[in-house]
Amino acid sequence: MADNRFFTPEKALPLGELASRTGATVGQGADSSYLIRGVAPLDTAGLEEISFLDNPKYVAAFEKSAAAACFVHPKYADRAPEGMSLLLTEQPYRAYALAAQAFHPDATHGTDTFGNRGIVDPRAHVHETAKLGENVTVEPGASIGAHAEIGRNTIIGCNTSIAKGCTIGKDCFIAPNVTVSHAHIGDRVILHPGVRIGQDGFGFAMGFPKHEKVPQLGRVIIQDDVEIGANTTIDRGAGPDTVIGEGTKIDNLVQIGHNVQTGRGCIIVAQTGVSGSARLGDFVVLAAQVGVTGHLTINSGAQIAARGAVVHDVPAGQQYGGVPAKPIAEWRREVVELRRLGRRPKAAGKSEE
């Protein structure tokens, strides 16, 4: 169960309300008024907690679970242990996520360090021309520059720097030790610790006798409902802006180069690098350690497997993988053939050399 020092449930909720909030159906024989006090994994959940079964690999754990209730696909309902109440849904994991949000709303948008919501700490540095909305929290050591604007209910964490002229929307969480410059940030955005937004793009006119720095004159535009993981860096544009589209989720340790533009709802996983001026359509997925060459387009709905190296445009809705990245079926055939070659016995009389 969640450690109450960090994640205290707001209140107990009856099964019927959880079903209503998540779009699930209360299973036959379940008591809709039964109170649930939290969420937990199948193997640790107890008589006041709800869990979920989404992956068939965990059916055995489901059959042995002591959870009071469980979100489950109807096809697994007959595998439930005696006494477990079921909330039936086609999307158990999504239902579990919504239930967890109901019990722990703070965990979805970040929490302040000191519990002093709506307070500008006297140890923070806020320029006299900055504009702060209602109930903004500014923690010790944070710095808000000239003419910056912060929307209502936003939290600015300890030792974070918001440079002059930046704007941040309402209900955002900007964690400790973040730097933001040359940026406009929308509503309900989460920046985790160590995020760097708006620094120079890597732009140089290379040559003899020295590489000349190209001034980076664009901005970073982060649209609503974006979440950016710890120690990720997003460079500002060289002239056009770098744009992170609405609802995009970026993992830890990602590098986004100057002029990159992503569409809505993209997923970019850890240690991925997207080179300058690349374009991502809506709901593109880049798995871990993908590399994207600059000045190309990955069209909407495309997915790139982990460690793929994208060097050409990718058509909409396609799955690519490998180095260089190619259609996933082709890449898998190549992997199988290479494995066969490696296992092929050497010809008689041939040396290893």
* pLDDT at site 348: 62
182 flagged as catalytic: no
**Beta-strand pair 85-88/69-72:** parallel
Q: What is the pLDDT of residues 67-89, one digit of tens each?
A: 999 999 999 999 999 999 999 99
The answer to whether residue 323 is domain-embedded is no
Beta strands in 157-216 (DSSP E): 161-162, 167-168, 173-174, 179-180, 183-185, 190-191, 196-197, 204-205, 212-213
| Mean pLDDT to the nearest integer, 343-351 | 69
The answer to whether residue 116 is domain-embedded is no
The answer to whether residue 224 is domain-embedded is no
The answer to whether residue 245 is domain-embedded is no
Check whether 353 has a pLDDT greater than 70. Answer: no
Q: Is 155 helix (H, G, I), strand (E, B) or coil?
A: strand
Q: What is the pLDDT of residues 94-151, one digit of tens each?
A: 999 999 999 998 888 888 888 788 999 999 999 999 999 999 999 999 999 999 999 9
Domain count, the chain: 1
**Interatomic CA distance for residues 82 and 93, integer angstroms:** 22
- Report helix angle 15-22 to 92-103, nearest 10: 120
Active-site annotation holder among 73, 258, 295, 312: 258
Check whether 345 has a pLDDT greater than 90. Answer: no
8 Å CB contact between 122 and 138:
no
Question: Can you read off the two tokens belonging to residue 279?
Answer: 């374009």
| Mean pLDDT to the nearest integer, 259-271 | 98
Q: Is 289 helix (H, G, I), strand (E, B) or coil?
A: coil
Average pLDDT, the chain: 95
* pLDDT at site 262: 98
Structural domain range at position 56? 13-109
The answer to whether residue 27 is domain-embedded is yes
The answer to whether residue 321 is domain-embedded is no
Residue 261 or 9, more confident: 261
Residue 309 or 338, more confident: 309
The answer to whether residue 79 is domain-embedded is yes
* pLDDT at site 109: 85
CATH classification at residue 100: 3.40.1390.10
